[in-house]
């Protein structure tokens, strides 16, 4: 949908049609006839209803003169059509388009991206150019976000602190924009993995209890398939060295609330560093705590992945694309376009015509 007009749940028919939002308004159609029949009419009065002392010299038509002029059938027809059009406009006519089926998987998918200082390491290659780890994540995760049609996506950014950058939403473009605008070191130079997981759990708990699917997973036990409604994808290149809660404690809370976590370790195993003493090979991922990331994933029924380069990172996200979503009831909507201004405009034109016709008749001898 392009968002140019609102939508409403589909009705019993699947064809385009005109719909009246307030059809009970049509019960007012006989109101003028009832008023004419029930209220007494003024007859036989010769005196003026409104006395104007300063208008004694004006030649005003008397009741006896005007009473002899009967209302023509054309005037009555125009007045009746005007009333019908006004009632039709008040009933809020709408044009319902053909049903539009929206793909909804029922999945809440949160991304937690590490912005600690180590993410500045340039050990990823994109288009024959060495880039830092965050740039590689933006490139690959951006494609991943665009493909997640039907998922509610959210974004958590963490360093020394963790904060919610984008709440769960169907607006994938906004989530991608927030990810593209993230800056290394903005939330601090250290890594608070536990706080990032705890924040995701908090957002999961804010949903109504009836919508949550809690489960408990013992170490080494697989998570129930029905519990993958809420997923956290955690991307980090280090070990937890900041925050108020440990990653394993946060993972236990996540498992209790039905939040499955997929962890991705970022960073190459080897890179060449050149200095005045020559070239030497170093391990830029020596701080990566793969054991803890693996245990976090296992506790919640998820899985740990290792991304050593851009190609592997892209393959991981393609694998995550194959997660089997929990299907909710199909949601179908119909585009709605208001039509009230058409009968209202015609009623105004007819009303002006009646006023003009009345003035002409008064001027006639």
pLDDT digits (tens, 9 = 90+) for 199-238: 999 987 776 543 444 333 444 444 444 334 789 999 998 8
Q: Which residues belong to CATH 3.40.50.410 in the chain?
A: 105-321
Higher pLDDT, 64 or 177: 177
pLDDT at 103 over 60: no
Query: Strand 259-266 vs strand 303-307: parallel, antiparallel, or unpaired?
Result: parallel
Segment among 99-103, 127-131, 160-164, 232-236 with least mean pLDDT: 99-103
Topology (CATH) of 105-321: Rossmann fold (3.40.50)
| Confidence grade of residue 336 (pLDDT, cut at 50, 70, 90) | confident
317 CB neighbour count, 10 Å cutoff:
21
Q: Is the pLDDT score of 15 beyond 90?
A: no
Average pLDDT over residues 9-16: 58
Nearest of 304, 264, 313, 303 to residue 126 by alpha carbon: 313
pLDDT confidence of residue 1: 38
Query: How confident is the prediction for the chain on average, in pLDDT?
Result: 77
Confidence label for 319 from pLDDT (cuts 50, 70 and 90): confident
Distance separating alpha carbons of residues 102 and 112, to the nearest angstrom = 27
Among left, alpha and beta (phi > 0; psi -120 to 50; other), residue 316 is: alpha
Residues in the chain: 365
More confident residue, 146 or 162: 162
What token pair was written down for 204? 């999961």
Token match 């109504």: residue?
A: 208
pLDDT at residue 216 in the model: 37
Question: Residue 14 — very low, low, confident or very high, per pLDDT cuts 50/70/90?
Answer: low
The confidence score (pLDDT) of residue 101 equals: 63
Question: Distance between CA atoms of 311 and 126, rounded to whole angstroms?
Answer: 9
Check whether 356 has a pLDDT greater than 90.
no
Q: How far apart are CA 124 and CA 132, in angstroms?
A: 6
| Mean pLDDT within 95-113 | 76
pLDDT for 37 equals: 82
Looking at residue 208, its pLDDT comes to 53
Q: 222 or 138: whose pLDDT is higher?
A: 138
Question: Please, how many CA atoms are within 13 Å of residue 93, restricted to the half-sphere of its CB?
Answer: 14
- The residues, any chain, with a CB within 8 Å of residue 339's CB and separated by 6 or more, are 18, 93, 94, 95
């Amino acid at each position: 949908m392009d968002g140019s007009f609102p939508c409403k749940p589909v009705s019993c028919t699947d064809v385009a049609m005109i719909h009246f939002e307030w059809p009970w308004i049509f019960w007012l159609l006989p109101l003028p006839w009832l008023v004419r029949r029930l209220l007494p009419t003024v007859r036989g009065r010769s005196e003026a209803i409104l006395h104007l002392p300063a208008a004694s010299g004006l030649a005003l038509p008397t009741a006896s003169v005007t009473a002899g002029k009967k209302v023509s059938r054309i005037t009555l027809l125009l007045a009746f059509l005007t009333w019908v059009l006004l009632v039709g406009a008040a009933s809020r006519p709408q044009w319902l388009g053909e049903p539009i089926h929206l793909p909804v998987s029922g999945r809440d998918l949160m991304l937690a991206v590490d912005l600690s200082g180590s993410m500045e390491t340039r050990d990823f290659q994109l288009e024959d150019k060495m880039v830092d780890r965050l740039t590689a994540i933006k490139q690959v995760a951006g494609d991943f976000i665009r493909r997640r049609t039907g998922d509610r996506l959210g974004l958590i950014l963490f360093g020394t602190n963790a904060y919610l950058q984008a709440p769960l939403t169907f607006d994938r473009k906004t989530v991608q924009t927030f990810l593209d605008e993230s800056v290394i070191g903005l939330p601090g130079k250290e890594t608070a993995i536990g706080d990032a997981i705890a924040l995701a759990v908090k957002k999961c708990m804010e949903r109504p209890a009836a919508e949550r699917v809690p489960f408990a997973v013992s170490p080494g036990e697989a998570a129930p398939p029905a519990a993958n409604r809420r997923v956290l994808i955690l991307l980090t290149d280090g070990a937890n060295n900041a925050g108020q809660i440990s990653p394993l404690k946060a993972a236990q809370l996540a498992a209790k609330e039905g939040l499955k976590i997929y962890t991705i370790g970022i960073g190459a195993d080897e890179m060449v560093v050149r200095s005045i003493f020559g070239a030497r090979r170093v391990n830029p991922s020596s701080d990566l705590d793969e054991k803890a990331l693996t245990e976090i994933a296992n506790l919640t029924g998820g899985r740990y992945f290792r991304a050593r380069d851009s190609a592997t990172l892209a393959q991981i996200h393609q694998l995550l694309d194959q997660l089997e979503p929990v299907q909710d009831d199909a949601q179908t909507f119909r585009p709605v376009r208001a039509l009230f201004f058409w009968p209202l405009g015609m009623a105004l034109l007819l009303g002006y015509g009646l006023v003009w016709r009345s003035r002409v008749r008064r001027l006639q001898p």
